[in-house]
Amino acid sequence: MSASRIVVVGSLAFDNIETPRAKVDLAVGGAASYFAVAASFFAPVAVVGVVGRDFPQAELDFFKARGIDLEGLEIADGQTFRWTGRYHENMNLRDTLDLQLNVFANFSPKLPAAYRTADICFLANIDPALQLKVLSELERPRLVAADTMNHWIENAHDNLVKLLKRVEILVINDQEAFQLSGSDNIIRASRRILEMGPRHVIIKRGEYGAIHFSADSVFAVPAYPLEEVVDPTGAGDTFAGGLIGYLAKQPEVTTAAVRKGMVYGSVMASMVVEDFSFDRLRKIDESDIEKRYNQFVALTQF
Ligand code: AMP
């Protein structure tokens, strides 16, 4: 089967990142960027988002060279969204030091006519009201997946609850799952979130991997053991890109397909953290993905 088209909506950003060993300014980031680059190795991707006039043409050319459709990317007067974060010695933990919304502040996603028939939609972490707007402009997506964050769980709860009724796969981290469900046990938290709508809940746990829950299945995948993590930024969105990209090539979203997709998600995430921004993904091809996939299979065989 040929791969289904994926529409992603979310942030495109400049990130200032400090890890215990290195520091980088103005790295190209944003949830939609990481997702789109990762998913583009599997399926055609179309982006809905906004950047300022300071966003480098070379980066737009890189997206286009990867076959990413940018018709839905608005280039607005002003500066691109900026995020500044610092990682702790334990790189599972980070603090947001600064956030400048810039052109993102007035962002209202508009789907080009050609995007409305897309089969698959990934709603990256933005205001649930905007996630709902994108969803309402799609004619009949066969798969809707979403991410969110603590800010929206606290401040946009009603819209988030509305959204969850229409999401098939929710991909969030463990702290967000605890907050959303009101439970600090991962099994109870997932069960409560499944009751809120999604058929599949996938919980990302940083260097401990990811765990999937559905009505009849629990599945865990480890993170690929790496000697050095250079920059964990974007690992979650890259994981989602590999997962949803893989599912775009499957005729149905079965539990088996979700499990295999999670391994591809982990493969992509393990590569993106080996360098800043998505620089590592600029240098790989499908054979590198298959090689690490096979290493994953060997790692988990017993
Ligand atoms: P992740 O490490 O997968 O959580 O994704 C990190 C990316 O999310 C960075 O490249 C940031 O630019 C972006 N980001 C950080 N905070 C926000 C926010 N409040 N809204 C949208 N994107 C954000």
Condensed to tens digits (0 to 9), the pLDDT of residues 240-285 reads 999 999 999 999 999 999 999 999 999 999 999 999 999 999 999 9
Condensed to tens digits (0 to 9), the pLDDT of residues 89-121 reads 999 899 999 999 999 999 999 999 999 999 999
Give the mutation target among 8, 11, 55 for probing the ligand 1 site: most ligand atoms within 8 A of CB.
Answer: 11
Nearest CA to ligand 1 atom 21: 11
Domains belonging to the chain, first-starting first, are: 6-300 (3.40.1190.20)
User: Is the overall model pTM greater than 0.85, yes or no?
Assistant: yes
d(CA 116, CA 61): 24
Angle at 175 between CA 276 and CA 280, to 5 degrees: 15
Q: Is residue 1's pLDDT more than 90?
A: no
Model confidence band, residue 2 (pLDDT cutoffs 50, 70, 90): confident
- Find all residues with CB under 8 Å of 7, minimum gap 6, and list them: 45, 46, 47, 48, 72, 111, 115, 118, 120, 121, 122, 134, 138
Using a pLDDT cut of 70, give the percent of the chain over it: 100
For the Cβ of 206 lying below 6 angstroms from any atom of ligand 1, the answer is no
Condensed to tens digits (0 to 9), the pLDDT of residues 274-287 reads 999 999 999 999 99
For the Cβ of 174 lying below 6 angstroms from any atom of ligand 1, the answer is no
Model confidence band, residue 154 (pLDDT cutoffs 50, 70, 90): very high
Cα–ligand 1 centroid distance for 215 (angstroms) = 30
